[in-house]
Amino acid sequence: MPVQFDDVPIGDAYLTHEAVRAVLGRQDNRCAGCGAPLDAVSTYFDLRRPVICGGPHTLGNLMALCPSCHQNHMHRIREIFADHRR
């Protein structure tokens, strides 16, 4: 039985090696946004659903993105955040 990582809380400041491997393994080392292959130096880890929008701070809510999908994701979150404050 593989370890169930989805409910494991993740730290604010850093990801453990195990967390990184779990997320990349789940995504088959591909970007969650566009499916491009990921490599260690250009992989970004983002919360699928941001904490400010009620997302849990757990591995199940984490995804690995390539640099361009990371940019898009951050952009979208800023827009969501702006809407929330209106």
**Site residues for Zn ion per CB under 5 A:** 31, 33-34, 36, 66, 69
Minimal distance, residue 36 CB to Zn ion, in Å? 5
Count how many Cα atoms sit within 13 Å of the Cα of residue 62 in the half-sphere of its side chain.
26
- Least distance to Zn ion, CB of residue 52, Å: 23
Nearer to Zn ion, 19 or 64 (CB): 64
CB of 64 to Zn ion, least distance (A): 9
Nearer of residues 19 and 31 to Zn ion, judged by Cβ:
31
Non-local CB neighbours of 42 within 8 Å, separated by 6+ positions: 66, 67
What burial class does residue 30 get, using C-beta atoms within 10 Å of its C-beta: 0-12 exposed, 13-18 middle, 19+ buried?
Answer: middle
